[in-house]
Structure 1
C-alpha cells in the first residue's frame, strides 16, 4: 500500500492539472487562439524562468554528472537509429513511418520532467531533471528535423534539392536552438551557478514567483489540447505508437540504466525522459513538414492520457524494487 501511495502522490498532482485543462477546454472557457497565445507565453517566458531557476540551484562543481548526460545522449541517438532501421523495413508509408520513428525517441520531457521529478524526489529530483533539459532540447530538435526532412522528400530523385533542404533545415534548427528561451534560460542559470553570482533578494523572489507558474500552466494547456473525438481515427496504429513510446522504449532503456548503476533522483530523471508521452511539438513539426498531422495528433493525445497509467506502473515497480 505504501508503494502505491508513493506512486499516486507523484502522479496525482499532474493528473489533476491536466484534467483541469481538459475540463476548462470542454466547457468552452479557453479557445484555440487562447491556447496558442498561452503556449507561446509559457514557452518563451514562464518555462524559461523555471529552467533558469532550476539550473541556478545546481552546484555544478559538486553535482555535475557527466555519466547521466552521456547515457541520456547515447540512449536518444541509439533509439532513433535502431527504430529508424526497424520501421524502414516494416512500414511502407513514409509519413506514418516518420511519426513512429519520432515517437520512439522524442518525449514530452520538458513539461513532464520537472514537476514529476520534484514530486518524486523534491529538490534533488528537480536538479537531476534540470541537468538533462538542455541535452534533450538540443538532441530532440536536431534528430526530429533530420527524420522529418528525410521523410518529407520524395522516395526517389530528390537530388540536390533534398540535400539543400536538409542543410537548410539543420541550419535553421541550429539558429532556433540558439534562440530557444529554454536553452537561454539554461545557459544563464549555469553561468550564474558556475560564477557564484548572487542575485538581489527582490530579483530572486520575483523569479521564483514567475518560475512557479511555468509547469502548472503548461500542464493545464496540455490537458486543454487533448481531443478525444480525434482518437476514433486509426486508433490501432495510434495505440501501436503509444505502446512504443510508453512501454517498449522505457522497458528496454530503464533496465540498462539500472545496470549502469543509476538510482534515486538520477534514475527518476532518466525514467521521465524516456517514459513520458509523445511531445506536443511532434504535432507542430508534423504540420510544418506536412507529415500526417492527424496521426501525429492522435499519438500525442492518446499517449498523454495513457501515460498517467504507465507512469504510475513504472514508478510503483521501481519503488517496489528499491530503486527509488
Structure 2
C-alpha cells in the first residue's frame, strides 16, 4: 500500500516539482508570471468546475466549514503557546503563526488530492473549498498579523485584498450553477476543462521554481519546531476533529490529507512583502515541502485504512 502510494501519488508530484526546480535553475523562470497564471487562470477554473460538479450536501458543507474553523482556531492556540514559550518578538510571532496556519492547499494540495482520489468530484470539491477558506485566512489574518507587527494592520485593506481574488467568485458561481442545475454551453465547458487539466503540471512546476529560489539552511531551531507542528501536530488536530464530528468516507479522508499539507508559499510572499522574517518563512516552506514526502505518504495510507 505504501509503495503504491509513493509510486502513484507522491513520486509523480515530486518529479514535477523537481522539473520546476531544474528549469528555474537553468532558465530563471518568471515566478511572477507563473504565479499569475496559476492564480488567475488555472485555479479559478478548477474551483468553479469542482463546485459545479460537486456532490456535496448542505450538511456536509456545514461540517467542513465547522471543521476548518475549529482546525484553524486550535492551530492558532498551539502557535500562541509556543510563541510565548519561545519568547518570540511580535514580528517573529506573526511569521511563526503564519507558517502553521497558511498551508499549501492550492498548488500542492489540489494535485495531491487529484492523484490520491483519482479525480473524484467529491474529494476535489472538498479540497477546493479548503483552498478558498485558506485564501480567506491568508488575506485577512495572514496580512493583518504582519501589518500589525510592522506598522498597525487594517481590516479594510486585508478584506479589499481578499475581494480582489478570483477564487471566491469562482467558488460562489460554481455553487450557484450547481444548485440551479444550469448547463454550461460547450464553448464554456471545453475551455474550462482544458484550463483545469493543466493544473497538476503547471502548479507543481511553479512550486518547484518557487522553493528553489531560497537556499537551504539547517541551523534554525524555530524552523524545525514550525515544521514539526505543521506536518505532525496539524494532522493530529485534523484527525481528532474528524472523529469528534463523526465524519467518514471520502470527506474524512480528504480532510485528513488536507490537514497535512506543508507550509504555503504565501507565508513567504507575505514575509518578503513586509520584510518580516523572510529567511524563517522561506526555510519553513522549503523544509516542510521536502519532509512532506514522508508525512503525506503516511497520511494517505492512514486515511485509506482508518477512515
TM, length-normalised to structure 2: 0.90
Structure whose CA Rg is larger = 1
* Deviation at residue 237 of structure 1 after TM alignment: 2.9
Residues matched between the structures, number? 305
**The residue matched to 1:111 in structure 2 has which SS?**
coil
2:248 counterpart residue number: 263
| In the alignment, structure 1 residue 76 sits paired with structure 2 residue 60 | no
Q: Which runs of 5+ in 2 are unaligned?
A: none
CA 1:228–1:217 in 2, change beyond 3 Å: closer, same or farther? Answer: closer
What pairs up with 1:95-106 in 2 under 5 angstroms?
95-106=91-102
Q: Distance in 1 between matches of 2:250 and 2:24?
A: 34
Q: Which runs of 5+ in 1 are unaligned?
A: 154-164
Q: Distance in 1 between matches of 2:105 and 2:141?
A: 15
Instruction: Select the residue among 130, 134, 137 that pairs with 2:135.
Output: 137
CA 1:228–1:176 in 2, change beyond 3 Å: closer, same or farther? Answer: closer
CA 1:322–1:64 in 2, change beyond 3 Å: closer, same or farther? Answer: closer
Q: Distance in 2 between matches of 1:268 and 1:141?
A: 27
What pairs up with 1:1-324 in 2 under 5 angstroms?
2-26=1-25, 28-31=26-29, 34-59=30-55, 64-122=60-118, 123=120, 124-153=122-151, 165-166=152-153, 168=154, 170-227=155-212, 230-232=215-217, 234-319=219-304, 321-323=305-307
Q: Distance in 1 between matches of 2:132 and 2:212?
A: 30
Deviations along 1:119-172, one digit per CA (max 9) or x if unpaired, are 22231321222233322221333221232223225xxxxxxxxxxx32x2x211
CA 1:195–1:130 in 2, change beyond 3 Å: closer, same or farther? Answer: same
CA 1:318–1:61 in 2, change beyond 3 Å: closer, same or farther? Answer: closer
**The residue matched to 1:275 in structure 2 has which SS?**
coil
* Deviation at residue 7 of structure 1 after TM alignment: 5.0
* Deviation at residue 255 of structure 1 after TM alignment: 3.1
**The residue matched to 2:23 in structure 1 has which SS?**
helix
Q: Distance in 2 between matches of 1:94 and 1:240?
A: 17
* Deviation at residue 112 of structure 1 after TM alignment: 2.5
**The residue matched to 1:43 in structure 2 has which SS?**
helix
Q: Distance in 2 between matches of 1:41 and 1:105?
A: 24
Q: Distance in 2 between matches of 1:58 and 1:252?
A: 26
TM, length-normalised to structure 1: 0.86
CA RMSD between the two structures: 2.2
